[in-house]
Chains A and B, each alone.
Chain A
Amino acid sequence: MAVPATDKNSARFLRVPRLALKHREAVEAWLFVSPILTGFLIFFLGPLIAVFFYSMTEWNLLTQQAAFVGMENYADALSRNPDFWHVVRNSLIFAAGLVPLNMALALTLALALSRPFFGVVFFRAVFFAPVVTSAVAWAIVWKFLLQNEAGAVNQILAVVGIDGPNWLREPDWAMAAVIVTRVIKMVGLNMILYIAALQTIPRDYEEAARLEGASNWQIFRMVIWPLLAPTTLIIMVITTIGSFKVFDHIYLMTGGGPENGTLVLAFYIYEQGFKFFNVGYASALAMIMFVVVMVLTIVQLMLRRKDMQ
């Protein structure tokens, strides 16, 4: 790069040669992103590639033996291990219960709380409070509340004459309990997203519809709901992905039980990997989870792009 100072009668060649501004900017930019990028490569991309290779090994930490087995782990999961389909079923039930309940409640609360009125700040704060609370604390308290006879929930039910079930000891009730307590924990987030979306809808639309004689329900059905559609789609995908990632909640409330009734994918991966040390099999499960979540995310990004156009 150096330009020798051969032209002695011209000062302009005495200048210290340096990078062109454009290249300098590029070097600086890479320096700026380098911390994140380095960490990302080491703790994220590397492990992601590694998990793919692990998934093709039979590797048990206890016996310290590893062998390449190709797609055996996947075949194992998909066709031989009955647990896997049980887990898939549970995960789908969990999602199918959680997502509609969460979204319906979030939207209802958002509609009620999107306009200022006395107490609106209080209610928003209340419905959002569980979001900032640790999932561990939340699960512990609900586990306490949902005990069979000593639990506050059943004691309150007894007051009104209902004999409540042993919530966390019966598979179906346990699933229901986990879903509902998870919804209460997370619904505030979707509520906030819905409120934000509702507040961007100009009131003119609603007022125009009202002048034309539309009822509240008609206004919602024919004006608000269609305008919320992009938000609804995004919330749906985010919530679905979130439902597949639930781990701590299950771990602490039910431990996947009873009778594996709440054994969902994230928990199953943890159990296989860190309890039974089936590294290969757990990695295959992780890859399956990765693909599911990736597909959902790509769908979300596509929806979002369409929404932006």
Chain B
Amino acid sequence: MAEAAARIGRPSREAVANAVLALALLAAPLIALQAGEPYYVNLSTRVAILAMAGVGLNLALGYGGMVSFGHAAFFGLGGYVAGIAAHHAFNYDLFMAWPVELEGTNQLLAIWPVALLVSGLAALLIGAFSLRTAGVQFIMITLAFAQMIYYFAISFPDYGGEDGLPIYTRNALPGLNTFDPLTFFLVAYGALMLAIGFTWVIMGARFGAALQAARMNETRLATTGIAPYPVKLTAFVLSGMITGLAGALFADLNGFVDPSMLSWHRSGEIMIFVILGGVGRLFGPVAGAALFVLMELFIGQWTEHWMLVLGLVLLTVVLFASGGLMGLLAGKPRHD
């Protein structure tokens, strides 16, 4: 906790880098609008949402040391909540008739809590089983559970199966026009900043100290009288919920949801945001997601084989440049 407090206390290089990243992401769509390039507004929204998915994973992976290879499950479930709610609202039919009658809705203030609830419950179930193991088994099991949900989504035809579900009109917020790209960007940006703020608050609290201790040495944590399992499970659930909410936003941004949101490539991508940015760094996922989207854009214009370039860049970062982008911008972290 002392180290977290120290980081909060004085403006470190990392704090400056964080502020620059936050402002740059906010400025990007405004500059794009000024320059008459509205395409880049949606691109900025994409960065904000993907970064938020990474912020969720970072809580489990970076701070808690739980290498989840299944976070696409939560991302996709959040997306499907938005898609299914909009689907029933569009068709004026019921989601379920028993035991209570539930209609669809296009109100984000109703959709988001449900997305948080569904992804949180899924994370509770997956985490409860997966955290019985550690290390390489944990990686494989989280991957396997995410695949289970992926295959279910593909084989269950009511919600589009392999084709997915369209969201014909973007879900709404009272008093705001979510169709306006800049408004929707600000919604996504606000959600991202809330998620980062939430991470910052809990990592500065006793819970955060316990979580970091669970990552470094579970036995020592246990000898101080704190059971590691509930701490890690709580962090895993919170992590899944943040990524789930990002998924709901992502579905609305794209106007559809399909099983690829649940695929293991997506899990790998979310992991890449965290690693490219810097594991366990507050703004790491923002830096990572921005770099990823920019690489996708610019290398994608230059060659259709941009995944090859991404693979080689990732390989180089892992083999020779651990610490990620935040490591370059703000130096080594002060702990471990």
Whether chain B is bound by chain A comes out as: no
